Amino acid sequence: MLTQDKLLEMYYKMVLIRAFEDRVHELFVQGRIPGFVHLYAGEEAVAVGVTSHLRKGDYITSTHRGHGHCIAMGVDIKGMMAELFGRKSGTCRGKGGSMHIADFEVGMLGANGIVGAGGPLAVGAAFAAKYRGSGDVVVCFAGDGAQNQGAVLESLNAAAIWKLPLIFVVEDNQYAISLRSLSSTKLQPRISTARSVAERAVAFGIPSVTVDGMDVLAVYEAAKAAVERARAGEGPSLLDCKTYRYYGHFEGDPMVYRSVEEVEEWKKRDPIKLFRERLVRGGVVEEVLDDIRRKASLEVEEAVRFAEESPYPEPSEAYTDVFTDPYY
């Protein structure tokens, strides 16, 4: 049973992700952030619902759309924002940027610029967890697009044969850039009621479930079973979470492939709105939730200030950190 504190912490993480992403969107439009940025707004229930089960020693692998996973795992948002600004005080000292934020201390093994590449890394981290016998688990977040990468399919097989403590979380946000997931993944009509890569997992010998990815408590419940199974040494699972990204694939995406009506339709089931309604129905007073929202906004503003006041790295730092020794 979820305690009220835990529920409010989940709500806080969801609104913090949203506040962070909305602000990054503005900053990008204003030309204050360089590079490629992929925003997670709309998908908060997935990251938060799953990572709420994780503990120290567990790991996740992430994607190019990684800010939400970072925040859910507890990566400091000041460092993240400074990283997006390319500053020395960034999580990765300005060397990674949006697509490469990692913080192993909190179990975040890295966002990734290569679609599907987190799969094999997650297999390795789960192998290490199993080898140590620590009961630690690994979560591999990957989108619907990644499900057709060989790396992911090979990883499903490896996780299954080695019975690894690994949870594959599919974030089906309906589009691989512009290609609808309906068009990218053919499923067996015989068993398909809802189109789902969950059916593929079964073929690999991995139990799976399709989840409403806009409902954080539904994700939480599904993840609970998968994480418990992994911790008990019973092997991998797959959660296929149906969700939606509010912004384009990347900042600057003209979004010619979907209609405003479609976006509005999904926003009616906004994960934060849904969760807030549930909390209020459960007796949480609105003011408490408003305070949490205000706190998140202030933290994001503080992060922006921190980032903009931070210095850029010295040019000489381009040549360090290739290896553990100075050679490059």
> What is the binding site for other proteins (CB under 8 A)?
59, 61, 90-96, 100, 102, 104, 109-110, 112-114, 117, 119-129, 131-132, 150-151, 154-155, 157-158, 161-162, 320-325, 327-328
Q: Is 257 a catalytic residue?
A: yes
* Complex with other proteins: residue 58 or 144, whichever CB lies closer: 58
* Complex with other proteins: residue 298 or 322, whichever CB lies closer: 322
* Complex with other proteins: residue 110 or 271, whichever CB lies closer: 110
The phi and psi torsions of 302 (rounded to 5 degrees) equal: -60, -40
Q: Which of 67, 245, 276, 293 is catalytic?
A: 245
282: Cβ contacts below 8 Å, ≥ 6 apart: 7
The secondary structure of 231-291 as a DSSP string is HTT---EEEEEE---SS-SSTT---TTS-HHHHHHHHTT-HHHHHHHHHHHTT--HHHHHH
Helix (H, G, I), strand (E, B) or coil at 103: strand
Q: How far is the CB of 122 from other proteins (least distance, A)?
A: 6
Q: How far is the CB of 288 from other proteins (least distance, A)?
A: 37
Q: Which of 195, 249, 276, 293 is catalytic?
A: 249
* Complex with other proteins: residue 127 or 257, whichever CB lies closer: 127
Q: How far is the CB of 278 from other proteins (least distance, A)?
A: 36
Query: What tokens were used for 239?
Result: 């959660």
Q: Are 28 and 199 in contact (CB under 8 A)?
A: no
Strands 166-172 and 237-242 come out as parallel
Q: Is 12 a catalytic residue?
A: no
Q: How far is the CB of 306 from other proteins (least distance, A)?
A: 16
Catalytic residue IDs = 245, 249, 257
